[in-house]
Amino acid sequence: MFQLDWKKFRAHALVSALALTGTVALVPAQPAMAQSAPQMKGLPDFTELVEQVGPAVVNIRTLERARPSAAGSGQMDEDMQEFFRRFFGQPAPGAPRQAPRPNRPQPQDEDAQPRGVGSGFILTSDGFVMTNAHVVDGAEEVMVTLPDKREFKARVVGTPDKRTDVAVIKIDATGLPAVKIGDVNRLKVGEWVMAIGSPFGLENTVTAGIVSAKQRDTGDYLPFIQTDVAINPGNSGGPLINMRGEVVGINSQIYSRSGGFMGISFAIPIDEAIRVSEQLRSPAGRVSRGRIGVQIDQVTKDVAESIGLGKPQGALVRSVESGSPADKAGIEAGDIITRLDGKAIERATDLPRMVGNTKPGSKATVTVFRRGGSKDLGVTIAEFEAEKPVKRVSEKEAEKPKGSAAAQSVGLVVSDLTDAQKKEMKIKGGVKVETVAEAAARAGIREGDIIVAIGNTEIHSVREFDAVIAKVDKSKAVPVLLRRGELASYLLLRPSRG
């Protein structure tokens, strides 16, 4: 026999009535819903972190020998000196100088004078300290002050690495408190972080904020961690610390239009810094990086779409150094390097970082996009050295062939290259631009440029150039690969409609 559950019936009737009348009822949240709701947390408490990490953060002062100066001239405040050196790359032009203070003897040539201030943190209990290269570079003396006020004269270990802005110094002490190294891969955007340093010489100053972005490309060798932690001159070289009390970065740079903190700071990822520090502490005392000998540029969206690459990715090879690993591997100007050992190259700046972190002498596979298809090339990584200056191609006027009028719709007159010109420029083919007008001029093509390919079709002669231009869709932009000196680049040519 059917029995009515009055409790369920009344509950159902109440819900139905509320739905029909539009009345809102407040009911307790069900357990399942409570589990899926975000948990609200209070503001973080940094006191334990400061107690934990603070003893391992040091103040760094650098000294240099005073040089003769004109009577009556003084020196800028040491904090401002460090500020202008770091953020402007040079002393401030026309910076005001302090008049000599009364009853203060003028410095003699052999006196050690303040040069700059910075921060650092203790890596090991036996006295290895990490900081920025720009803090200690060029200093004649480096003094380290611990939070307990002990002061030590430090020596710079190896050669400070300017490309990553990382340096290691050593003090003669044992039993020191050392920091814990964190995992940058676990760091998340929006996560709370803290900095400890000596802004303007104010030792053990604590500031905090959040991670604003990761892998921030500022044009330097490393992708930075961007934060809104207050960083000022003197914070350079100090640690960026996560909520677990681990160092995840070295505070290195700020973005500023006024010279002061504007809410954007950059830190060197600690994993990259540790890799550099290990090499500095090795017997060689310097950082060894890989290189393949190419000059590169970004791939634009328009070029990527027009050549069939799809999305803008990889590094456009503008030139290949003669005799370099890239040259021997068959990499050509105009290639787009999309992968290194299977790892995708999303931006052009990824390539030098990935190659630089590859051990010199090792073999790698480079994937290039060329003429609409991908190709794998084997390359042996060489050791990084100063790049050779770009050599401009000299033109031999006596070998100039007679130009022919070609494709009036693009505003170009081109001529064939001689065998001697091809050999000198180390190219298989192409045509030389003799005259530029109309659409070609608007695209940025210049007289003397060498057109190597149109679209994904290689050009070897004026006849081929004419044939390809005749088939160009006048309603679409066509990518033109050209050589200018030893550099290759893509330009988008938009033919004039007849």
**Residues annotated catalytic, as ranges:** 134, 165, 236
Cβ density class 260-279: b for 16+ within 10 Å, e for less: ebeebbbbbbbebbeebbeb
Distance CA 350, CA 237 (A): 24
191, 210 in Cβ contact below 8 A?
Answer: yes
**Residue 241 pairs with which residues in a beta bridge?**
194, 247
For 214, counting Cβ atoms within 10 Å of its Cβ (0-12 exposed, 13-18 middle, 19+ buried), the class is: middle
C-alpha 489/C-alpha 487 separation (Å) is 7
- What are the C-alpha distances in Å from 226 to residues 88, 191, 216, 254? 20, 11, 7, 9
To the nearest 10°, the Cα dihedral for 496, 447, 462, 415?
140
Closest to 169 in 3D by CA, of 197, 139, 202: 139
Over 283-310, what HEC string results?
A: CCCCCCCEECCEEEECCCHHHHHHCCCC
Please classify residue 366 by burial: count the beta carbons closer than 10 Å to its beta carbon, then call 0-12 exposed, 13-18 middle and 19+ buried: buried
Residue 129 near residue 154, CB atoms below 8 Å: yes
With b for 16 or more beta-carbon neighbours within 10 A and e for fewer, the 399-434 pattern comes to eeeebeebbebbbbbbbbbeeebbeebebebbbbbb
Could you give the CA distance from residue 481 to residue 451 in angstroms, rounded to a whole number? 6
Reference 182, options 251, 266, 269, 52; nearest CA is: 269
For residue 11, what are the contacts with CB-CB under 8 A and spacing of at least 6? none
Extended beta strands in 217-350, E state: 224-227, 239-242, 246-254, 265-269, 290-291, 294-297, 315-320, 336-340, 343-344
Please say whether the dihedral angle defined by the alpha carbons of residues 129, 130, 132 and 133, taken in this order, is positive or negative.
positive
For residues 337 and 364, what is the distance between their CA atoms, to the nearest angstrom?
13
